Structure 1
Amino acid sequence: MATVSFNKSFVVDSPVAFNAIIKDLEEPRKVEISNRDYKAENVKGIQLLKQRLSNSKR
């Protein structure tokens, strides 16, 4: 199950891998999230839907 907590021990034997893990924990990557205009996207989506449905034949 995806909701079950994950609890497993790992043994890292490689000093290179150990140093890489330490470096990644000390210097996390910054993730940039773009701001979205949901109202404008909704308006555009409704316009496209109206356009698609108005051209359809019954």
Structure 2
Amino acid sequence: MNRILTTTLALGRDRRGVTALEYALIAAFTAVAIAGVLALLGPRLSGVFQTIVNALPSV
């Protein structure tokens, strides 16, 4: 019983898991933000690239 309590207390003081979780949340929010921006700007970017393709000479 004493060993379980000691292990539990040691895990409670360990902050490495918290840091990993914070980095995972930052990565998830960044991915969501990038997806949102691409969803909003996708049609506009498609038009820009189509204009560039149309301006290139045919081979």
What TM-score bracket applies, with the shorter chain setting the length? Answer: 0.3 to 0.5
Between structures 1 and 2, the one with greater helix share: 2
Higher RCO (CA-CA < 8 Å; seq separation 6+):
1
